[in-house]
Amino acid sequence: MKTSYKTADGNDPPLEAVENLVGICEFWLEELRETYNRLYVKGPKEQGIIINHGFRSVQVSEKMAKAGLKPSKTSNHLQGCVVDIGCKDKLQADRYMQILCQDKEGKTCVFPSFYC
């Protein structure tokens, strides 16, 4: 797991966090990538999803706090239950939001948080 904060624990997620991250990938991110590419990417080149943050260990959170950031002590990042998706611009963020906020029948079902 790559992080800009180097820690003794290596920011290695425990098995439970790995399972949570796998679930996010399989349930949300694969669907997002496939749908986005089908709707908005023209030609044979597919666009991947950029993940800025996934799992974050307690040691990484502590280093962030020392650097003046304010990570939550109860952040879902600590359990691998959330990922931060990178967006190249507001249009891409809006498109991601539209895809993630609709179920298979096109009804609004969830409201993920986006920060761009």
Q: Tens digit of pLDDT for each residue in 26-45?
A: 888 999 999 999 999 988 88
Cβ-contact 115, 85 below 8 angstroms:
no
This prediction has a pTM of 0.74
Q: Is residue 1 part of a domain?
A: no
Q: Is residue 33 part of a domain?
A: yes
Q: Is residue 75 part of a domain?
A: yes
Q: Is residue 110 part of a domain?
A: no
Instruction: Please give the pLDDT value at position 1.
Output: 44
Note down the domain range covering 71.
15-100
CA distance 53 to 14: 16
pLDDT in tens, 42-74: 888 888 889 888 899 999 888 888 889 888 889
Q: Is residue 4 part of a domain?
A: no
pLDDT-above-70 percentage for the chain: 84
Mean pLDDT over each residue of the chain, to the nearest integer: 83
Q: Is residue 56 part of a domain?
A: yes
CA distance 78 to 17: 8
CA distance 81 to 33: 19
CA distance 1 to 59: 14
CA distance 107 to 80: 27
Q: Is residue 27 part of a domain?
A: yes
Domain count, the chain: 1
